[in-house]
Amino acid sequence: MNAEQLINQLLEEPDFAASVTAYRALPARDGRYVGFPQALDQRLVDALERRGIHQLYSHQAEAIQHALSGRNPVIVTPTASGKTLCYNVPVVSSIMANSANRALYLFPTKALAQDQLAELQVLVESLGIELRSHTYDGDTPADARRAIRQAGHIVITNPDMLHTAILPHHTRWVRLFENLRYVVIDELHTYRGVFGSHVANVIRRLRRICNFYGSNPQFICCSATIANPAQLASNLIEGDVELVDQNGAPSGPKHVVLFNPPVVDRQLGIRRSAVLTARGIARSFINNGIQSIIFGRTRTAVEILLTYLRADAPDHRRDSIRGYRGGYLPQERRAIERGLRDGTVRAVVSTNALELGIDIGGLDACVLTGYPGTIASAWQQIGRAGRTSASSVAVLVASSTPLDQYVITHPEYIFDSSPETGLINADNLHILLSQIKCAAFELPFRDGDNFGRTDSTASFLEYLTEAGLLHRVQDSWHWMSESFPAEEISLRSASTDNVVIVDYERPTQVIGEIDRLSAPTWVHDEAIYLHGGVQYQVERLDLEEKKAYVRRVDVDYYTDAELAVKVNVLEVMGSDGQARSHGEVSVTYLPTIFKKIKFDSHENVGWGKIHLPEDTMHTRAYWLWLPTEVSERLPLKEVEVGLAGLANVLANLAPLYLMCDPRDLRVWPEVKAPFTGAPTIFLYDSIPGGIGFSTRLYDMHETLLRGAGDLVARCECAQGCPSCVGPQFDGAATSAKLQALRLLDVLLTARPLAVAS
Amino acid sequence: MNLEELRTRLGTTRPAPVVRESAASPEAIPGGMLEQTNRGPCLVVETTRGHEEEHGSHQFMALRGLRPFRIGGVLAGIGQDGPHLERVAYLDTETTGLGYGAGVQVFMVGIGSAEPDGFRVRQFVLRHPGEEPALLLALSEYLSGFDILVSYNGRAFDWPLLENRLILNRVPPLEAQPVHLDLLYLARRLWRARLESCGMSTVEQAILGVDRGSKDVPGYVIPSLYFQFVRTGSLGLLRRILHHNLYDILSLAVLTAHVERVLADPWGGTVSHAVDFYSLGRLYNALGEVDGAVACFETALSHDLPPSIRDEAVLRLAMIEKRRSNWQMALPLFESILDRSQFERIACVELAKYHEHVAREFGPAMQLTDRALRADGRLDRWPGTDRMELLHRKRRLSGRVGNVTPGPSPPS
């Protein structure tokens, strides 16, 4: 049975059909083809023909034409639409025309870089010309580096490496920078938020260096579907771009099903778990031999699903079901990717790690366990199922969170509305200051120099001079410090340090790694760490050594850690004086306890304390509060319940209005916040320095609150449920739903409400 | 955004202003002068030490007409015939940091050379980073008068860094690159076995008897002294750095003369430590000068040596004799280290090879192979001591022992 037949059969089962909130059959699309541009070297055309490419898709031809004519194309087409050719053709062609020409490819991860290298080399081999392409990353051996610097035509790397290894050592890369014709930025949509804001500055630095050596490269960007690819690209490279978004690639029919697990307890508003539901659906795909990918929202979800699906599978299929996520070692990942391409891996359970353009071929079916948070991600994941001619199936299984419930009951949101906006703020104060340090290290600034489009470059230079890092002499500003700024500054977050996970019973065995910020909640002492479906218990987390020591265990639970958060207002940057403000805050996190949660039943079977130091982050926040004359007249308990409920709604709804990843925004309610002296809800950017989300929320205050009121009022539950104000427990003295609505009313009318008798 | 706003938003206050002394005037530094280039002036500080003056246990006289041919030969940079390679420059730089990043500046370059009136050191100094093009031009011009450049870690550090600075300041590279001899490589070969480190401060004290006294500053504080000098203009700070750099060059030059003499004739009174003969033996051996190596090892072994070095000297000597098929010499040497746990395995292997292939006594060869297998194999860097190879040998021998095999026929 193929995927299409299976989904049709499932749709005929009443139980299944009852839970389907939307079903769309996206028709097959014919390809649109165009001949090769005249300007291309005939040898290149011949080589492509030998590889079976006799024509270009229309979007490829368009992009290539832009690139060959000196413009900066931004290509936005779905997964597997031949984006690689859009940049490889103009780049290879320019090097064939002049072997001095150079190109730089940027991919957000090392894995993607490896993938591209392989593809490029196949093309170059069939051309039979001398064109050297290399990856340059942390894994490149020292002796190979010199050769690459001198003679590599195409250097494939990542922004982090450009930042710490290439730009600060530009005198070793004279040949590259003197002759740089093209800079390729693939997976453009990943360069948003703090990472994108840093990368925009790295590109400013790149331009300075190119300018010094007399080159002025063009940029070719590729992106998954987002609302503003051209704007994001143009902000990132600070230049004009040409949008190419008319996909000319053919695709087979695709069946997309939105599935809302049934309510199992109407009183509590509890639905069947998304994980267990996805397990059932994925199992029927796997049992019917349909090659599938199952996405989980979190690393834990991936490991739990993997454990379930392996347990469900017949013996001979068990090994062909694999897990995939950050933290698996590269060799392991490469093997899984190969297995997916050659068909030996029949199912893979993955985090969004496989959302990016890693080549795993097209699969037949895809199950999304929970809405991945953004429309762009959802379509990227759905796009993993898809063949050029055969049909494919994608099922989105909603969880009980308000966001999922909103999306699953408003199918038009996914099918018809515009996807997210990629926001960056290259002039974020902290990011800019860090990056100007790096830039000053690389080349002295001169009076009148601007760093990209920053207009206050001179103030920053004066500031750094006062701080003793620069020295001004005549008309220039020179680096005057022993430090190496790029090494101290991470593009990705407050810290790039990874904590290595070691199986101490097999001392040489590093089984994985985890970023420093996640470590306190993931690998605290006594945590259960799941890796490849195997359970490990953390014996000791050593944050100084950056190691977590684990041992294999066999238990029937997993762990879930809780954080205590403190928000301090540092500076108010805007306020209506009554109910809302925005400004700079510092947020302190302290992991407190962890709960032990049983597999299958998901019941709480115990807990423990976490003993770790707190972490602090400076960022931007938007906060709203109740007038004290109202809150003082309400019973504390009611305010507490209402506030928590409202916070839950806002946490889930705000990303929808902002069209950002929910993880970029955090919410924290306080019954009596020290700063306002009143019941307050803080919404803050979960990024040091902030990106601007909270400022935008401040501006859309009323829309946001009205939306929240609408969602709570319309929810089918009685007293409140996970889909609106959050899970409620039996015997609650007061209705969270009612309290949240009452607070909303106060906030919206900004007038005291009659106190309920 | 102005500076004031920036300070507020970053939560910092205005720092105390830097108190500047008067600009560093060249006259205030003994030997100081301004050299004009077409990209501005460069401060040059010149110091000359008379031939009779001493530096540690050496006189600068030793540097007159010195041509480091043997050093060059060892470093394979120049051959023995280089009559045109007359002029030797000794180079050392001071930098604002370690590493090769574009933000690491070379703010002082000292060049020493033997001149008719004594040993002269010219120090090219950046009074501020704006003078860098002038420094590089003046330096290039001066260096063009030399054929050989001697440095201490200069091939890996100072020179690449200077190349960075040329690129950054758009100053063309030297037309004729001088031959570059990096003495650190040789110093390591010669003294690593005896000295804790081969840094210049250790070597000059231990080998040259140089004592810099309390005036000298340790190398790691130099960048911060320099930054302070640039900001305040305090000449006292600059003098301390000049002094440090001067001593580095004097020591480098004298060390060059010393090493050249050592290589010319190790027995000429220049080598006073038995361990150094062992190191020399290894050096000659690596260069393929077997006779020299044997002589050095033998000299080393005729004195008191630390036990581990003694054993290693024995082993290396034995290996040479084995290669020369001088079994009469080699056998007792191997046997003498059989009981040293670190060398037991290799000694057994070598003796087993002898018994198997030369003497054709398979019984003893087998016993020695068994012993090698039982022995501690931590010293695996010797070829042939790998466990797999030993097991292979054992298998082969057990075949031979089983057969009736004639021993070497007795001389009739």
pLDDT in tens, B69-86: 788 878 865 444 444 567
**Of the residues A513, A530, A555, the one at which a domain ends:** A555
3-state secondary structure of A357: coil
* Cβ-proximal residues to A64 (8 Å cutoff; 6+ apart), any chain: A37, A40, A56, A85, A86, A89, A90
- Please tell me the distance from the alpha carbon of residue A682 to that of residue A688, in angstroms, as a whole number: 16
In this structure, the answer to whether residues A219 and A91 fall within a common structural domain is: yes
Q: How is domain B27-264 classified at the CATH fold level?
A: Nucleotidyltransferase; domain 5 (3.30.420)
pLDDT value at residue B125: 97
DSSP single-letter state for residue A660: S
Chain B residue numbers with beta carbons less than 8 Å from the beta carbon of A480 are 96, 129, 227, 230-231
Residue B381 tokens, joined: 């860097």
Q: Residue A326 pLDDT > 50, yes or no?
A: yes
Per DSSP, helices labelled H in A75-141 are 83-97, 110-127
Chain A residue numbers with beta carbons less than 8 Å from the beta carbon of B12 are 467
Strand order in the sheet with B88-95: B32-37, B40-49, B118-125, B106-115, B88-95, B148-151, B179-182
Closest residue of chain B to A437, computed from CA coordinates = B103
Q: Residue A564 pLDDT > 50, yes or no?
A: yes
- The mean pLDDT value for A704-710 works out to 88
- Please tell me the distance from the alpha carbon of residue B68 to that of residue B73, in angstroms, as a whole number: 8
User: Do residues A288 and A335 lie in contact, with contact meaning Cβ atoms separated by under 8 Å?
Assistant: no
Taking Cα atoms as reference points, which of A571, A591, A593, A592 lies closest to residue A582? A571
Report which secondary-structure segment, H or E, holds A478: strand A476-479
Which residue of A430, A462, A482, A584 is the best one to mutate when testing the B interface, meaning the one whose CB has the most B CBs within 10 A? A482
A133: CATH: 3.40.50.300
pLDDT in tens, A456-489: 899 999 999 998 999 999 899 999 999 999 987 7
* pLDDT higher at B240 or A114: B240
To the nearest whole Å, the CA of B276 is away from the closest chain A CA by 33
Q: B141: pLDDT confidence band, cut at 50, 70 and 90? A: very high
Residue A73 tokens, joined: 């194309």
Residue at A725 is within a domain: yes
Residue at A60 is within a domain: yes
pLDDT value at residue A750: 62
For chain A, what is the mean pLDDT? Answer: 87
**Domain ranges (residues) in chain B:** 27-264, 338-412
DSSP single-letter state for residue B357: I
Residue at A493 is within a domain: no
Closest residue of chain B to A480, computed from CA coordinates = B227
pLDDT in tens, A135-165: 998 888 888 888 899 889 999 999 999 999 9
For chain B, what is the mean pLDDT? Answer: 88
| Residues in A lying within 8 Å of B, measured between beta carbons | 168-172, 174, 429, 433, 440-444, 456, 459-460, 462-463, 466-468, 471, 473-474, 476, 478-486, 570-571, 584
pLDDT in tens, A169-220: 999 999 999 999 999 999 998 898 778 889 999 999 999 999 999 999 999 9
Residue at A757 is within a domain: no
Residue among B103, B130, B163 minimizing CB distance to A441: B103
- Please tell me the distance from the alpha carbon of residue A597 to that of residue B130, in angstroms, as a whole number: 65
How far, CA to CA in Å, does A660 sit from each of A189, A190, A640, B336? 12, 12, 28, 77
In this structure, the answer to whether residues A636 and A743 fall within a common structural domain is: yes
- Please tell me the distance from the alpha carbon of residue B96 to that of residue A482, in angstroms, as a whole number: 6
In this structure, the answer to whether residues A570 and A540 fall within a common structural domain is: no
Domain count, chain A: 5
pLDDT value at residue A752: 44
pLDDT value at residue A508: 65
CB atoms within 10 A of CB A702: 11
In this structure, the answer to whether residues A211 and A341 fall within a common structural domain is: no
CB atoms within 10 A of CB A308: 21
pLDDT value at residue B146: 93
In this structure, the answer to whether residues A76 and A223 fall within a common structural domain is: yes
Residue at A141 is within a domain: yes
Q: Residue A753 pLDDT > 50, yes or no?
A: no
User: Do residues B371 and B377 lie in contact, with contact meaning Cβ atoms separated by under 8 Å?
Assistant: no
The one-letter amino acid at B253: A
- Please tell me the distance from the alpha carbon of residue A441 to that of residue B207, in angstroms, as a whole number: 39
- Least confident residue range of A58-67, A400-409, B99-108, B189-198: A400-409
How far, CA to CA in Å, does A58 sit from each of A85, A566, B260? 12, 53, 73
Quick one: three-class SS letters along A235-295? HHHCCCCEEECCCCCCECCEEEEEECCCEEECCCCEECCHHHHHHHHHHHHHHCCCCEEEE
Q: What is the DSSP string of B98-146?
A: SS--TT--EEEEEEEEEETTEEEEEEEE-SSGGGHHHHHHHHHHHHTT-
pLDDT value at residue B80: 44
- Please tell me the distance from the alpha carbon of residue A220 to that of residue A90, in angstroms, as a whole number: 10
User: Do residues A664 and A655 lie in contact, with contact meaning Cβ atoms separated by under 8 Å?
Assistant: yes
In this structure, the answer to whether residues A239 and A258 fall within a common structural domain is: no
* Pairs of CB atoms within 8 A across A/B: 92
Total number of residues shown for chain A: 757
Residue at A197 is within a domain: yes
Helix (H), strand (E) counts: chain A = 27, 32
pLDDT value at residue B404: 47
- Sign of torsion over alpha carbons A209, A211, A216, A221: positive
ipTM of this complex > 0.90?
no
In this structure, the answer to whether residues A528 and A662 fall within a common structural domain is: no
In this structure, the answer to whether residues A233 and A331 fall within a common structural domain is: no
* Burial zone of B116 (CB within 10 Å; 0-12 exposed, 13-18 middle, 19+ buried): exposed
pLDDT value at residue B411: 45
Residue at A422 is within a domain: no
- Sign of torsion over alpha carbons B188, B191, B194, B196: negative
* pLDDT higher at A77 or A163: A163
Q: Residue A659 pLDDT > 70, yes or no?
A: no
- Least confident residue range of A406-415, A555-564, A726-735, B230-239: A726-735
pLDDT value at residue A1: 82
In this structure, the answer to whether residues A197 and A272 fall within a common structural domain is: no
| Residues in B lying within 8 Å of A, measured between beta carbons | 1-3, 5-7, 9-12, 14-15, 96-103, 105, 128-130, 163-164, 167-168, 223-224, 227, 230-231
In this structure, the answer to whether residues A395 and A477 fall within a common structural domain is: no
CB atoms within 10 A of CB B4: 10
- The mean pLDDT value for A357-385 works out to 86
Name the maximum alpha-carbon separation found in chain B. 106
Q: Where are the beta strands (DSSP E) in A292-414?
A: 292-295, 321-324, 347-350, 365-369, 392-397
* pLDDT higher at B298 or A728: B298
- Please tell me the distance from the alpha carbon of residue A456 to that of residue A444, in angstroms, as a whole number: 16
Domain containing residue A317: 3-25+251-416
- Give the CA-trace dihedral at A581, A587, A592, A597, to 10 degrees: 70
In this structure, the answer to whether residues A476 and A366 fall within a common structural domain is: no
Helix (H), strand (E) counts: chain B = 15, 9
pLDDT value at residue A723: 72
Closest residue of chain A to B221, computed from CA coordinates = A482
In this structure, the answer to whether residues A115 and A169 fall within a common structural domain is: yes
